[in-house]
Chain A
Amino acid sequence: MKPSLRPKFLVFLGILVWSLVIAGSAAAQQPLTIAIPTDPDSFDPHRSVAAATGEIAFNIYEGLVKAGPDGSIQPALSSQWDISDDGLTYTFQLRHAYFHDGSRVTSSDVVFSLNRLRDPDISQRAGEYGVIESVTGLDGAVTIQLQRPHGPFLASLAEVAAAVIPEDAENLAQEPVGTGPYTFVEWRPNQEVRLQRFEDHWADVSPHFSVVSFAIVPDDNAAILSLKSGQIDIIPRLDPSLAHQVLDDRSLQVIPGPMNLVQLMALNNQRPPFDDVRVRQALAKAVDREELIVGAAWGHGTALYSGLSPAMEVYYRVGLEAVHNRDLDAARELLRQAGQERLEFTLDLPAPYQIHVQTGEILAQQLAAIGVRVHLNIIEWGTWLERVYNQRDYEATIVGLAGRLDPHSVLIRYQSDSSRNFFNFNNETYDQLIDDAMQATEDDRVELYQQAQEILAHEAAGIFIMDPEQLAVMRSGLQGWYNYPVYVIDAASLYE
């Protein structure tokens, strides 16, 4: 052998040995594989905005508090907290906890994180935390001063965005360092994100699975096939229209729960004829939600009559189904009064969401019964976001709006000057209710939000359809799965 070849040969040998070692160790660990539809965007909690990131980051990062499976606020890095009587001062006691890089969590890390979170030059979510007046670090505690009382504040601290990061962190986007039960190992776009158990987590019980892999599988059908043939263990959110493929399979279990998603036919309230409340009400009276739930979600959904899902237990206003009972004659009469007997409109449907497309197809047929002609227009998601959501250039569309821990962020969408009010809904009483609720005590908030839901139903701000069930499908034998009312996946609670 020529001498010059030797280094290459050694490198080759090294790679060979290395790959064998990797292969060997991978076989020994048996990672828990969870299918998710899209890649995360960035692991910097203050810059990330994609829902897909939150799902994974929930396991890596923690804030002072975190969401529980029932939507409650649970202690995280803070073991207990006090809220002053005027609702302006929050004091959090810090726990003895460590970051993934081994350093201790101090109050100055928390101050740094919260200041970074509300810095508009860095943070995407700065606007939502604008109510913070100041953050002060004490010995083993942190005090947050608000500008004015803000009911949803504690819930907003449970968001993944409010994560606590080490003060000296760099390149978080690709190498996240948090305090959560899992540490980040690697992210291969279009393939997987791999996490490993964090042995120094503050919790007494450490997670059962030492390695968790989030496999990126964009197509639900492909995910089901992989689940059945054993390459993945869990599909956290199965499209309900595909549920029939897994329901009778004994090697799999399906755990249903409300998704806290409001699926609705949004109507552009400013564009004629939908600026006429009678036209909106007529459509509301013509809809057969049961058929839509059976047809588009294979029966896995809960009918909605206003803008909040029953998953928001306390705040949900019960009994609104009677506001617009299905009554085709009444619907025709309303259209006649509005002079819209020959109503025609275009319904934009976002292509990647089968459930919305199918809902639209069935809905079009239902509305034909009162003489309304619906033109279906399936558009790509990017086009939908730009034209329908951001420019509000549409007549009607079907979409699902994801809920949060607090009803505020869901209901504020219908406030007339909200930048997310793509319905162009405009109602003064409603605006006032939402403003009042922000400053009110907890009991009053419940009452105010219930009134707000009544307005949405009566005014038919949109045609509320259903909250599809969240169907978590996994191989039988896995236990400890929780369906959260927010968009996260809790890998730490799983065991077998």
Chain B
Amino acid sequence: MKRSWNLWLGGFIILSMVVLVVVGFVYVPHDPLHIQVVQRLQNPSPVHWLGTDHMGRDMFSRIMVGGRVSLAVGGTAALIGLVVGVLLGALAGLRSGWWDQVLMRVADGLYAFPPFLLAILAVTLWDPSGMTAVIAITIGTVPAFMRLARNNVLSLREAPYVEAARALGAKETRVLFQHILPNMMRPLLVQASVSFAGAVLAEASLSYLGVGVQPPTPSWGRMLREAQGFAGLAPWVVLVPGAAIAWTVLGFNVLGDGLQKR
């Protein structure tokens, strides 16, 4: 029972967010884009459950719709990061020598390249859209997977059963997919969960810096950026989007925990 506690809690939190976002496709209490200047910064009430923002738009509806961006960007970035990172990391670990050197230096270079600098470049080179944020964040998630995969491959390939398989004449790719990858699945899944959480945070930061998704589409980070000036006047406009981000990230982190302990 105890061991799956984290798994359940993480799953529940993620599910609650996913349900909220999915329902948002079918039904929202108010038009999240409709500006009503006279209704601005209203307190939470039965009409506006989480109040209204500085343009009089319904906060609850905006949270529902804004979640799409966070989940989509986070999910895509984590998935691509996983696939690309593991492939490159495994390559570095198996080939060693030059490959290892070059790939790991590239990973270091990526670490050194601030993601938001990438994002600004991306936004100006391509059209500003959710896509650019995904690209910037994905590039940011790759090195972690690379390092993890490489270090795991390095220690696993000297494990007795891997040596044995190789001695029996198995090919490198076969060794990788049959013997090494399955044995590092758990740390990778944990990293994927953590990366998802990290990507949600990164998307929020980029949107906060103004290089994420474009209005009128709401995103949680953008909502925070716009709300910044009203923290003293209407605390909920700052509290609500931040809490939504924290809740989602919490869900994935707890899930990652559960995966690790299982």
Contact = CB atoms under 8 A, between A and B. Distances in A.
Asked whether any CB of A lies within 8 Å of a CB of B in the complex, the reply is yes
B120 interface: yes
A361 interface: yes
Given A358-B55, A376-B216, A380-B120, A244 B233 contact: yes
A220 interface: yes
A221 B35 CA distance: 23
Given A241-B229, A245-B229, A362 B128 contact: no
Interface in B8-63: 34-35, 37, 54-55
B37 A361 contact: no
A332 to B, nearest CB: 21
17 contacts: A224-B229, A242-B229, A245-B229, A245-B230, A245-B232, A357-B215, A358-B55, A362-B35, A362-B37, A377-B214, A378-B128, A378-B210, A378-B214, A379-B128, A380-B120, A380-B123, A380-B124
Nearest to A248: B233
B4 interface: no
B35 A365 contact: yes
B55 to A, nearest CB: 7
Residues of A contacting B: mostly: helix
Lowest 5 CB-CB distances: which A-B pairs, in order?
A: A295-B37, A242-B229, A221-B229, A365-B35, A221-B228
Contact of A364 (B210, B216, B230, B232): B216
B223 to A, nearest CB: 13
Given A245-B232, A291-B37, A376 B120 contact: no
B125 to A, nearest CB: 10
B216 A351 contact: no
Contacts of B216: 361, 364, 376
Interface string A317-360: 00000000000000000000000000000000001000001100
Interface in A359-376: 361-362, 364-365, 376
A300 to B, nearest CB: 14
Contacts of A294: 37
B32 to A, nearest CB: 13
Interface of A: 220-221, 224, 241-242, 244-245, 291, 294-295, 351, 357-358, 361-362, 364-365, 376-380, 382-383
Contacts of B54: 241
Contact of A361 (B35, B128, B230): B35
A361 B210 contact: no
A27 B35 CA distance: 49
A286 to B, nearest CB: 15
A291 B216 CA distance: 18
A146 B102 CA distance: 68
B214 A376 contact: yes
Contacts of A361: 35, 55, 215-216
Nearest to A219: B228
Nearest to B33: A365
A351 B214 CA distance: 10
Contacts of A357: 215
A352 B255 CA distance: 38
Interface string B87-119: 000000000000000000000000000000000
